A and B are shown apart, each in its own frame.
Chain A
Amino acid sequence: MTTATATSHNELSKALGYIGVWIKKIPPVYFFLILVFLAGGILDQVLADGQIFKNPLIMQNIVVRSVALGIVAVGQSLVIIGASIDLSVAYTISITAVMSSYIMQGDPAKVPTAIIAVFIIGAAIGIVNGVAITKLKVNPFIATLGTSLIIKGIINATFSNYTGSVPKSFEYFGYGTIGPIPVSIIILFLTVTVGWVLLARTKFGAHLYGVGGNAEVARLSGVRTDRVLIGAHIICSMTAVLAGLFLVSQMRSGAPWVGPNGVYDLNSIATTVIGGTALSGGKGGVWSTLGGVLIFGVLETLFNQLGVNPYLKTVFQGAIIVMAVASYTIRSKKEAA
């Protein structure tokens, strides 16, 4: 009798232990996300029509809103884990949007050509970034700022307004659904999963953490640090291209301002850091970045619900970025720089 209860008690505590381990594995940013969501929902109940809690579609909307930023943020997380940074993603998105729409010209037959072309452009941008950083030893901040200016110049010299259009079939990416789930959400989760597999399950990922943690140690242990970093930059530019393709399929025609207007460069960095990836590199992951991106999505939905003045929206966004990061850096014993 006593032994029986003891074992069942034991099993229960064991099960609880498992759950505890499992909960500990959830990046802390998701608790912050839930908090923001609940606080936002309550504010919405009090001040507006309470759609956030009542309307299940709004949950879906929050995720759809986050797709473009989420995809770029995966790439940004990779380069930041490698102790680099990419400020050129916003204009990479722009050049993808205008070039793909310009090549397609509404013709479904030209879709594959356009997609291949923009991915080649993306790879080229990633290689230029990576080579400037690793071989020319230009600081990543300056190198990608430079390429960003170069792409900006090229786009603005060539296109000044909506250019070309995408065929109806291509809009499937932006508006289609598989069953009840939008295609865009599936692509977002696929991208995050691929990012996670790369980081957690491949040699490349292990090397990238090594390079970000201490490049010299990684090099001395036989990692080809330059190649790893160039690879991360190519992947990052590719994610920007994918985000650009998603945005152009939603807009139906490419515009040169789509990247900078969305502030995808600084926002992708902010969401990565909010997720818990350190700017100094060697630490972090893509699932936590997704949490940061979803916080942005919730906030944007909330601001729309409440009809907040667009300039105040910017003010709140700034304050929330700092508070979100402060919520876990405050316990750190190390001085920040």
Chain B
Amino acid sequence: MTTTTVSPTNQFSKALGKIWTWIKRVPPVYPVFLVIFITLGIINPTKYQSITGIMAFLRTASPLAVLAIGEMLVLASGGFDLSIGSIVTLVVLVSSKLLANDPANAYPAILIMLGIGVIIGLLNGLIVSYLKVPSFITTLGMMLLVKGSALYYVGGAPQGYLTDNWRAFGRNYFENVPVLGRVPYALIILIVLSIITYIVFNRTNYGKQILMIGDNVRASQLSGVKVRLVRIITFVICAVFAIIGGVMTGGYGGVNVTIGEGYEMQAIAAGVVGGVILGGGKGSVPNAIFGAFTLQAIVNLLNLLGLPKPYTDAVQGLIIIGAVAYVGLTSQRKK
């Protein structure tokens, strides 16, 4: 009698325990994002509880998420990339001149920009690998170099506007999609890039080697990892993603000399909120994306509360510290 009553409760508590360990394994970025997004929904139900509203949110959040994926790879390898904000500015400024207000130039211009991205990434990677300059300094120098070149090329002010077909990537929607209604191009780009990066990062040797280098350079060298090659590829991917993110940002943001300012810091913060450890050895594609979504949700929340821009900065700073402290302290407890 007693045994029969005990065993079901026992099973029940066992099942609960299993669910609990499963819940504990969920990275803290997801509950943080959910709390902020649900708050958004409570304050403005018409916008944030409708599919159209969520799609609009994803359109604004996707560029930062693309930047954050690239940055996460570099962070996981133990480096930094501070040049991506300048790359976004470069994309928008140089494209505005290359387009010469003619829609026919849009795709060639984007191809040229992607080429420039490869060159910037190569330079970053080669300088870090062969001249042994720490990536923080290399990419800081590259940030000045890229920004200065872009401003010099356009003469300090935007030349012309961005044509509609160029801007489509960041601004337009696929209309009449079943169930979802409208789906932004930006979201599709993000999904495609994240699937590719997820597979590369989690299922290939190269992906494992990024983490290995971030964890212990010497050990990976001794076990035959081509440290320099891995690093160079990582910087190239990061710079190319920054170009793509720049096209998406310019799409809805328009032409502006300060458009990319601070993006590098936001992308790094997104990675860290998503559980990346600065110094390398840890990283995850989906967590970095949700780190970026969390930051964007915070910005939207503060705008919704009607705070003037300066207070938004201050509260954003507080929340970034808070979120990172929370993520850091919870993952530490697990150890």
The chain A residues found within 8 Å of chain B, CB to CB, are 132, 136-139, 141-143, 145-157, 266, 269-270, 273, 279, 309, 311-322, 325-326, 329-330, 332, 334-337
* Contact flag A311-B321 (CB < 8 Å), given A137-B332, A279-B134, A326-B131: no
* Contact flag A149-B332 (CB < 8 Å), given A137-B325, A318-B148, A337-B217: no
State the CA gap A155–B149 with chains docked (Å): 31
Q: Chain B's interface: helix, strand, loop or mixed, by majority?
A: helix
Q: Tell me the smallest distance from the CB of A70 to a CB of chain B, in Å.
A: 19
Closest B residue, CB atoms, query A136: B325
- Which residues, 169 to 220 on B, are CB-close (under 8 Å) to A? 213-214, 217
Please state if B144 and A318 are interface contacts (CB–CB under 8 Å).
yes
Interface residues of B, count at CB 8 A: 59
By a CB distance below 8 angstroms, the chain B residues around A334 are 132, 217
B233 within 8 A of A: no
Please state if B311 and A270 are interface contacts (CB–CB under 8 Å).
no
State the CA gap A315–B148 with chains docked (Å): 5
**Residue in A139, A151, A311, A322 whose CB lies within 8 Å of B133:** A322
By a CB distance below 8 angstroms, the chain B residues around A156 are 309-310, 313
* Contact flag A335-B129 (CB < 8 Å), given A136-B328, A145-B265: yes
* Contact flag A319-B314 (CB < 8 Å), given A147-B321, A329-B132: no
Closest A residue, CB atoms, query B266: A145
Closest A residue, CB atoms, query B329: A137
**Residue in B144, B265, B314 whose CB lies within 8 Å of A321:** B144
By a CB distance below 8 angstroms, the chain B residues around A279 are 134, 136-137
**Residue in A136, A143, A321 whose CB lies within 8 Å of B140:** A321
B12 within 8 A of A: no
B272 within 8 A of A: yes
B221 within 8 A of A: yes
* Contact flag A312-B152 (CB < 8 Å), given A137-B328, A149-B317, A273-B137: yes
Please state if B133 and A336 are interface contacts (CB–CB under 8 Å).
yes
- What 1/0 mask marks residues of chain B from 262 to 286 whose CB sits below 8 Å from any chain A CB? 0001001100100001101000000
Please state if A321 and B137 are interface contacts (CB–CB under 8 Å).
yes
State the CA gap A269–B138 with chains docked (Å): 12
